[in-house]
Amino acid sequence: MKYRFELIEEQMVFDSFLKINRYRLRHELFQGGESRELVRERMEGLQAASVLLYDPRRDQVVLVEQFRIGALERPDHPWVVETVGGYIGAGEKPDAVARREALEEADCAIEALEPICEFMVSPGISVDRIFLFCGQVDASQAGGVHGLEEEGEDIRVLVMGAEQAIAELQGGRMNSTSVIIALQWLALHRQALRRRWLAGEP
Same domain as 128, residue 34 = no
Confidence (pLDDT) at 69: 87
Alpha-carbon gap, residue 54 to 135, rounded angstroms: 6
Residue 155: CATH number of its domain = 3.90.79.10
pTM of the model: 0.91
Same domain as 54, residue 35 = no
Alpha-carbon gap, residue 171 to 183, rounded angstroms: 13
Same domain as 188, residue 128 = yes
Same domain as 156, residue 77 = yes
Residue 88 DSSP code: P
Same domain as 158, residue 63 = yes
Alpha-carbon gap, residue 163 to 169, rounded angstroms: 10
Rg of the chain taking only CA atoms, in angstroms: 20
Same domain as 63, residue 29 = no
For residues 129 and 46, is the Cβ–Cβ distance under 8 A? yes
Domain span at residue 17? Answer: 5-43
Q: Which of 149, 150, 151, 201 is catalytic?
A: 151
Alpha-carbon gap, residue 178 to 189, rounded angstroms: 16
Same domain as 138, residue 113 = yes
Q: How many domains does the chain have?
A: 2
Confidence (pLDDT) at 186: 98
Same domain as 39, residue 59 = no
Same domain as 83, residue 67 = yes
Confidence (pLDDT) at 63: 98
Q: Which residues of the chain have pLDDT under 70?
A: none
Confidence (pLDDT) at 20: 97
Q: For residue 132, how many C-alpha atoms fall within 13 Å in the half-sphere facing its CB?
A: 22
Alpha-carbon gap, residue 41 to 95, rounded angstroms: 30
Beta strand segments in 16-78, E: 19-27, 38-43, 47-55, 60-67
Same domain as 134, residue 69 = yes
Alpha-carbon gap, residue 42 to 103, rounded angstroms: 32
Query: Is 73 noted as a catalytic residue in this protein?
Result: no
Same domain as 77, residue 19 = no
Same domain as 185, residue 119 = yes
